[in-house]
Amino acid sequence: MTKIKLHNTKTRRKEEFTPLDPENVRMYVCGPTVYDRAHLGNARPVVVFDVLYRLLRHVYGKDAVTYVRNFTDVDDKINTRAAESGRPIGDITNETIQWFLDDMGSLGALEPDQMPRATQFIPQMVAMIEDLIAKGHAYAAEGHVLFAVESYTEYGALSGRSIDDMIAGARVEVAPYKRNPMDFVLWKPSSGDQPGWDSPWGWGRPGWHIECSAMSYELLGASFDIHGGGNDLMFPHHENEIAQSCCAHPGSGFAQVWMHNEMLQVEGKKMSKSLGNFFTVRDLLDQGVPGEVIRFVFLSTHYRKPMDWTAEKSVEAQSRIHGFIEHIAQYGNLDNASRLEPETAIIDALCDDLNTHAAINCLSKLNGSGDADKLARNVVFLGIFDDKQLATRVAKHRDAHITLAAIAKDLQAKRFEAKDSKDFTEVDRIKHILTLANVSVRMNKDEVLLTPEVGFDPSKLGALK
């Protein structure tokens, strides 16, 4: 069996991954709060854990892996958006969920096996809260229910902080009904215009953290293998999940491996609306940056390192992907490619704490070695294209070469005519149109070579007629 090593945030070291049950490998990743378009930083954990999902399915089998990623569809930000827009909350969350799925699909992300919405699991959350109260880990106060942080002695172990440090470093909500400033909300009252559900503590709604504990328990069990997300969630969200879950299910251990990706920057600076460098995924797609390019740039940096999105990296990624397609179109057989196993060097790279940077470099080596079929297989395995997308791109590239071969033959004939007449006007006109269509034009005494470049636009070739 292939051995996977992953850096476990909980133990702060890279460890050999040993699933609790190799025939039932389970992973939970925190998903978005659905009130607006996903920004570029939201997309990074989606791509990171999509690659891990692909690796786990390769090693253990597709039917042996369950990947759960939730949607937070009850939240004060959603309530605010509804109040500002006058739209029903359900309309906003349904629309935003579909936006998210469409945008992440554009980045080559497979949909998880389960995508639960928080509002579908309110009874399970209420039951877990009742259990925590019964066990002395939570208390009701003024329509709220709060988790008693001091009741869990391991609180802070994941993030490596003491409670005093967390109080000093966090914006803690001060409320007279809290026994301890660090106690966090499990349930809170709802006013008439806010979403709410009946509960033993009155009409209200869940706090943020309880949803992931309840949903992961219902869908994956008290103990499961991997819990992932951005490192901005380590505290307080993941710390609070651990406290709730371990207190509700003593001895379970909750998630065995914790994985956190680093944050994303834009042109060397933290992404911020005030700096004018804030992008949603849809912004980039609408600006003409292909989804495979965004994914390629993401994968070029190891997930535990800060990732800097730059225009230069985007251009470089487009060029490298174009080179892959060019090579596959000229020399590859996609039917043969689909029957190949992923390259051992790429699997080894991913098994080494998901080293996607090394895996991307392996693609370049395959391109350089001339093995187009292997290149095609591994471009698909890494999710840069799926089989259908790759076939479409390769077919278009081959059609372009056929079209350009005919144009090259015609241009060569006109060159010979121009040499006799000393009038190169028509030759220059054709070369200008080809350049506008992003076609590389190379000439020698024997032939004309035309190659489609990044951004090749066949529609502009109509001007040749």
Pairing of strands 25-29, 224-230: parallel
Pairing of strands 184-189, 204-206: antiparallel
- DSSP secondary structure, 315-330, as one string: HHHHHHHHHHHHHHHH
Within this chain, do residues 124 and 238 fall inside the same structural domain, yes or no? yes
Among the candidates 331, 355, 385, a domain finishes at 385
Within this chain, do residues 377 and 414 fall inside the same structural domain, yes or no? no
In a domain, 228, yes or no: yes
Within this chain, do residues 156 and 118 fall inside the same structural domain, yes or no? yes
Torsion of Cα atoms, 377 then 383 then 389 then 390, to 10°: -30
Within this chain, do residues 32 and 77 fall inside the same structural domain, yes or no? yes
Within this chain, do residues 232 and 302 fall inside the same structural domain, yes or no? no
Within this chain, do residues 359 and 407 fall inside the same structural domain, yes or no? no
Within this chain, do residues 67 and 153 fall inside the same structural domain, yes or no? yes
In a domain, 437, yes or no: yes
CATH, residue 106? 3.40.50.620
pLDDT of residue 276: 82
In a domain, 269, yes or no: no
Q: Which residues contact 21 (CB under 8 A, 6 or more apart)?
A: none
Extract the tokens encoding 36.
């607006």
E strand or H helix that includes residue 8: strand 5-8
Among the candidates 360, 385, 410, a domain finishes at 385
Within this chain, do residues 53 and 166 fall inside the same structural domain, yes or no? yes
Within this chain, do residues 242 and 329 fall inside the same structural domain, yes or no? no
Within this chain, do residues 171 and 312 fall inside the same structural domain, yes or no? no
Rounded Cα–Cα distance for residues 196 and 203 (Å)? 6
pTM for this predicted structure: 0.94
Within this chain, do residues 305 and 379 fall inside the same structural domain, yes or no? yes
Rounded Cα–Cα distance for residues 112 and 271 (Å)? 27
In a domain, 377, yes or no: yes
E strand or H helix that includes residue 57: helix 40-60
Maximum alpha-carbon separation in the chain: 98
In a domain, 16, yes or no: yes
Q: What is the DSSP letter of 197?
A: B
pLDDT of residue 193: 83
Within this chain, do residues 401 and 380 fall inside the same structural domain, yes or no? no
Cα of 14 vs its chain's centroid, Å: 22
In a domain, 272, yes or no: no
Among the candidates 211, 245, 261, a domain finishes at 261
In a domain, 373, yes or no: yes
In a domain, 109, yes or no: yes
Domain that holds residue 348: 288-385
Q: How many domains does the chain have?
A: 3
pLDDT tens, residue order, the chain (465 aa): 799 999 999 999 999 999 999 999 999 999 999 999 999 999 999 999 999 999 999 999 999 999 999 999 999 999 999 999 999 999 999 999 999 999 999 999 999 999 999 999 999 999 999 999 999 999 999 999 999 999 999 999 999 977 666 665 455 566 888 999 899 999 999 997 899 999 999 999 999 999 999 999 999 999 999 999 999 999 999 999 999 999 999 999 999 999 999 999 999 998 888 888 889 999 999 999 999 999 999 999 999 999 999 999 999 999 999 999 999 999 999 999 999 999 999 999 999 999 999 999 999 999 988 899 999 999 999 999 999 999 999 999 999 999 999 999 999 999 999 999 999 999 999 999 999 999 999 998 889 999 999 999 999 999 987
Extract the tokens encoding 117.
């919405």
Rounded Cα–Cα distance for residues 460 and 443 (Å)? 21
E strand or H helix that includes residue 283: helix 281-286
Whether residue 106 contacts residue 151, with contact meaning beta carbons closer than 8 Å, is answered with: no
